[in-house]
């Protein structure tokens, strides 16, 4: 049964002060907390779909505190929130989380509140969906009740696996909840029923929650079956091998498809006759500090699997300050020739200097529609594609759905429909998501697809700055900051017949090529004095870390785990410590342990000499290294392969430092495998050494985390 009701604003005079619905659509409050726009986009999608289901969503960002009041909210509340960094709330949710965590709030503070929560995260990080989970837990502690089970979507395997069924199930849960609340309200009005009714109401809510749990479970089960190598469906697997980005095979090729609703267009785009000068292309749209790259060095040997570069930037002319452990955001443009290629493919290359005028379509059906804030007014087409749009973003299914409308060839049309359909999600993951395809790759593969500029602008997200940990200390290098990075390589694959480099690391490596060539790649030259080289300039902003800093108590022992480029902040820590020791010889300093790992001792052991020097003069008291590809099978001796193997070999010291001596552990680098493996190893170490079970060991780590003595700075 479909409910077409609207909250009238009248309140019942009973315990359940539910607003009585009387006409049109049922209102609910929809809050989102977004860092990079995902949660916002999903909230907007929910808002659009709501009206089809007889609901009206009132959407606000969690930071827009003037627009909502949870203390007085009687309608159902739906929250979509992402997690960023090491389990941190997105910037727009920080205040909200802080507020609800206030210790003085009592256990019935939100007893009137009924909510559903969708958390977004990435299971490659150990604190998966931490912000969503924190909000969920805290709301319940404060008496709020779920009317629908929380969904936790994992960007590591595809957000849509949970997001889509969660949204689908939301409408039923809302209907059940509203029906139940109305009947409770009605009964209350008639007979002032108390606790008994409350139990009934809860029963309904709980059953809705259970229904959804089962629904999600079955969907997850079927998706993991589809995703796995298909032991239960060998025919499908065999066929999948022959399928390609542009070709499907049975059963998908003949399956009827559930495709998403066509996203409502919301932008009117006009190319003005006014032209923009090329010089404006040099500056990013956001305020940032322009700094000079004063030197560059290749830290790895030519035969290393990955190339690691170290850059030094001069920040002396800026107000920028930093502590070791902080990072810097670098604003980078998209690759120029890729932009040209994309504009050419869109038939717009001739117009690239034209100023673009954007307006929200007056008749748009999109509920929450606004101009993209990251596209400044008066920008040329070329500028927008270079600086404002993440042209490498993996096209989402909604984008594919829109592309269908602009595709003339029937086969291509069908294939795009399949790739955005429920039935085609394994193909989507296999042929688009896993190889990290871009819109340009898709347009090359589907030549009859010719989307309008407005569709492209509606679907491509904001080009994000890239962050890099400071690999230096301003105490010992005043006015300078170092960053270290691997050049990201996307090898060619059947779906993308050209290899690519990462947007930022590829751009940076080209920028510093003259410096590297000049210095033979191996030396850090004082190029600032060399007039034959024009030093490149880049735009940066500081990105201070909330906790990833040396302990204020210099006597506290620390353990640093940083394989590969994960060692960067620890070089900053050690430089800082060395200077502190030199300037304060009477102060006592705790032990410092560094666990470093790489593939080959002779090819990619970055900062080998510097670490040796820190060790020789006592700033670094213990260095443990492991080389994963230098294993010698001919001897009996088992060498540690990864950082976690060395942690295990030093388990007693690890426990002594962390537990007996109240030390700190810092983990930096790869979030996909390393941080998880280290976490698991630490659980094993604690459980073995302290003779406690794994659950207890996990609690010890959670406690260390809470006390900011287990700190991570990880990225994928």
Question: Is 54 a residue that touches ligand FAD (CB under 6 A)?
Answer: no
Select the span of 10-18, 403-411, 498-506, 574-582 touching ligand FAD (CB under 6 A): 498-506
266: tokens are 């919301």
Please say which residue, 502 or 521, places its beta carbon nearer to ligand FAD.
502
Distances from the Cα of 310 to the Cαs of 181, 305, 395, 471, in angstroms? 61, 17, 32, 9
Identify the residue among 488, 547, 625, 683 touching ligand FAD (CB under 6 A).
Answer: 488
Place of tokens 């090329």: 278
> Which residues in 310-369 contact ligand FAD (CB under 6 A)?
327
DSSP state of 586: T
Select the span of 14-22, 298-306, 503-511, 623-631 touching ligand FAD (CB under 6 A): 503-511
Measured CA to CA, the distance from residue 355 to residue 379 in angstroms comes to: 5
Please say which residue, 435 or 590, places its beta carbon nearer to ligand FAD.
435
Please say which residue, 347 or 499, places its beta carbon nearer to ligand FAD.
499
Cβ neighbours of residue 236 closer than 8 Å, sequence gap 6 or more: 230, 251
Select the span of 91-99, 145-153, 467-475, 570-578 touching ligand FAD (CB under 6 A): 467-475
Please say which residue, 652 or 716, places its beta carbon nearer to ligand FAD.
716
Question: Is 245 a residue that touches ligand FAD (CB under 6 A)?
Answer: no
Identify the residue among 490, 547, 610, 679 touching ligand FAD (CB under 6 A).
Answer: 490
Select the span of 205-213, 465-473, 527-535, 588-596 touching ligand FAD (CB under 6 A): 465-473
Please say which residue, 146 or 565, places its beta carbon nearer to ligand FAD.
565
Measured CA to CA, the distance from residue 577 to residue 475 in angstroms comes to: 9
Q: How far is the CB of 467 from ligand FAD (least distance, A)?
A: 4
Q: How far is the CB of 672 from ligand FAD (least distance, A)?
A: 8
In SS3 terms, 224-247 reads as HHHHCCCCCCHHHHHHHHHCCCCC
Select the span of 222-230, 336-344, 487-495, 583-591 touching ligand FAD (CB under 6 A): 487-495
Question: Is 468 a residue that touches ligand FAD (CB under 6 A)?
Answer: yes
Please say which residue, 321 or 360, places its beta carbon nearer to ligand FAD.
321
Please say which residue, 340 or 591, places its beta carbon nearer to ligand FAD.
340
Residue 295's nearest CA partner among 472, 127, 491, 77 is 472
Identify the residue among 266, 485, 627, 664 touching ligand FAD (CB under 6 A).
Answer: 485
> Which residues in 380-439 contact ligand FAD (CB under 6 A)?
392, 436
Q: How far is the CB of 663 from ligand FAD (least distance, A)?
A: 23
> Which residues in 557-586 contact ligand FAD (CB under 6 A)?
565, 568
Distance linking the first and last C-alpha atoms of the chain? 46
- Beta bridge partners, 57, equal 28
Residue 142's nearest CA partner among 169, 112, 111 is 111
Identify the residue among 355, 504, 674, 686 touching ligand FAD (CB under 6 A).
Answer: 504
Residue 371's nearest CA partner among 293, 296, 436, 458 is 458
Question: Is 496 a residue that touches ligand FAD (CB under 6 A)?
Answer: no
User: Residue 51, exposed/middle/buried by CB under 10 A (0-12, 13-18, 19+)?
Assistant: middle
- Cβ-closest residue to ligand FAD? 502
Question: Is 626 a residue that touches ligand FAD (CB under 6 A)?
Answer: no
Cβ neighbours of residue 609 closer than 8 Å, sequence gap 6 or more: none
Measured CA to CA, the distance from residue 396 to residue 263 in angstroms comes to: 12
User: Residue 559, exposed/middle/buried by CB under 10 A (0-12, 13-18, 19+)?
Assistant: buried
Q: Do 563 and 668 contact (CB within 8 A), yes or no?
A: no
Question: Is 715 a residue that touches ligand FAD (CB under 6 A)?
Answer: yes
Question: Is 502 a residue that touches ligand FAD (CB under 6 A)?
Answer: yes
| CB neighbours of residue 290 within 10 Å | 14
Question: Is 469 a residue that touches ligand FAD (CB under 6 A)?
Answer: yes
Dihedrals phi, psi of 208, to nearest 5 degrees: -60, -40
Cβ neighbours of residue 476 closer than 8 Å, sequence gap 6 or more: 575, 576, 578, 579
Identify the residue among 185, 505, 519, 626 touching ligand FAD (CB under 6 A).
Answer: 505
Q: Do 174 and 56 contact (CB within 8 A), yes or no?
A: no
Q: Do 124 and 671 contact (CB within 8 A), yes or no?
A: yes
Q: How far is the CB of 436 from ligand FAD (least distance, A)?
A: 4
Question: Is 607 a residue that touches ligand FAD (CB under 6 A)?
Answer: no
Please say which residue, 503 or 538, places its beta carbon nearer to ligand FAD.
503
Question: Is 503 a residue that touches ligand FAD (CB under 6 A)?
Answer: yes
Does a cis peptide bond (omega within 30 degrees of 0) precede residue 169?
Answer: no
Measured CA to CA, the distance from residue 295 to residue 514 in angstroms comes to: 10
Interface with ligand FAD by CB under 6 A: which residues? 327, 392, 436, 466-469, 484-486, 488, 490-491, 502-506, 565, 568, 715-716
């Amino acid at each position: 049964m479909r409910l077409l009701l609207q909250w009238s604003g009248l309140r019942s005079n009973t315990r359940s002060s539910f607003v009585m619905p009387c006409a049109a659509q049922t209102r609910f409050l929809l809050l989102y907390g977004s860092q990079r726009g995902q949660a916002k986009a999903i909230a907007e999608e929910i808002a659009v779909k709501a009206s089809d289901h007889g609901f009206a969503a009132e959407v606000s960002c969690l930071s827009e505190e003037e627009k909502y009041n949870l203390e007085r909210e009687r309608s159902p509340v739906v929250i979509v929130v992402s997690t960023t960094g090491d389990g941190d709330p997105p910037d727009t949710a920080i205040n909200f989380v802080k507020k609800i965590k206030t210790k003085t709030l009592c256990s019935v503070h939100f007893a009137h509140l009924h909510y559903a929560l969708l958390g977004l995260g990435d299971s490659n990080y150990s604190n998966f969906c931490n912000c969503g989970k924190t909000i969920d837990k805290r709301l319940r502690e404060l008496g709020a009740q779920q009317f629908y089970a929380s969904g936790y979507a994992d960007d590591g395997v595809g957000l849509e696996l949970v997001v889509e069924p969660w949204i689908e199930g939301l409408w039923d849960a809302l209907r059940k909840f509203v029906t139940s609340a109305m009947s409770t309200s009605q009964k209350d009005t008639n007979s002032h029923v108390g606790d008994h009714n409350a139990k009934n109401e809860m029963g309904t809510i709980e059953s809705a929650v259970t229904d959804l749990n089962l629904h999600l479970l079955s969907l997850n089960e079927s998706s993991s079956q589809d995703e796995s190598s298909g032991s239960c469906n060998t025919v499908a697997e065999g066929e999948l091998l022959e399928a390609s980005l542009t070709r499907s095979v049975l059963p998908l090729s003949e399956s009827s498809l559930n495709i998403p609703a066509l996203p409502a267009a919301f932008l009117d785009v006009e190319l003005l006759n006014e032209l923009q000068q090329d010089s404006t292309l040099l500056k990013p749209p956001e305020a940032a500090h322009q700094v000079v790259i004063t030197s560059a060095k290749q830290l790895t040997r030519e035969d290393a699997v990955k190339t690691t570069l170290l850059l030094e930037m001069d920040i002396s002319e800026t107000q920028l300050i930093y502590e070791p452990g902080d990072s810097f955001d670098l604003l980078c443009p998209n690759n120029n020739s890729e932009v040209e290629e994309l504009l050419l493919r869109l038939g717009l290359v001739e117009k690239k200097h034209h100023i673009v005028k954007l307006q929200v379509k007056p008749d748009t059906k999109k509920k929450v529609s606004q101009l993209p804030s990251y596209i400044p007014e008066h920008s040329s087409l070329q500028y927008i594609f270079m600086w404002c749009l993440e042209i490498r973003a993996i096209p989402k299914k909604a984008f594919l759905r829109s592309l269908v409308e602009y595709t003339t060839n029937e086969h291509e049309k069908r294939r795009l429909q399949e790739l955005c359909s429920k039935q085609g999600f394994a193909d989507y993951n296999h042929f688009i998501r896993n190889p990290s395809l871009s819109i340009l790759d898709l347009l090359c593969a589907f030549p009859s697809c010719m989307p309008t500029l407005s569709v492209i602008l509606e679907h491509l997200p904001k080009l994000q700055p890239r962050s890099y940990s400071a690999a230096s200390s301003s105490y010992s290098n005043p006015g300078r900051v170092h960053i270290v990075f691997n050049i990201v390589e996307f090898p060619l694959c059947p779906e993308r017949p050209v290899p690519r480099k990462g947007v930022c690391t590829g751009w940076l490596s080209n920028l510093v090529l003259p410096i590297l060539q000049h210095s033979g790649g191996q030396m850090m030259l004082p190029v600032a004095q060399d007039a034959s080289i024009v030093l490149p300039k880049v735009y940066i902003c500081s990105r201070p870390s909330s906790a990833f800093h040396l302990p204020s108590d210099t006597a506290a022992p620390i353990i640093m785990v940083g394989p590969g480029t994960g060692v960067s902040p620890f070089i900053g820590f050690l430089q800082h410590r060395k200077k502190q020791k030199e300037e304060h010889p009477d102060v006592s300093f705790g032990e410092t342990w560094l666990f470093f790992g790489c593939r080959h001792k002779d090819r990619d052991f970055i900062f080998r000499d510097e670490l040796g020097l820190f060790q020789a003069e006592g700033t670094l008291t213990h260095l443990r290294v492991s080389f994963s590809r230098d294993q010698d099978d001919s001897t009996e001796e088992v060498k540690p392969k990864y950082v976690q193997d060395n942690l295990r070999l030093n388990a007693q010291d690890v426990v002594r430092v962390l537990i007996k001596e109240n030390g700190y552990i810092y983990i930096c680098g790869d979030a996909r495998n390393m941080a998880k493996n280290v976490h698991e190893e630490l659980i094993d170490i604690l459980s073995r050494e302290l003779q406690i079970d794994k659950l207890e060991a996990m609690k010890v780590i959670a406690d260390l985390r809470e006390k900011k003595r287990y700190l991570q700075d990880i990225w994928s």
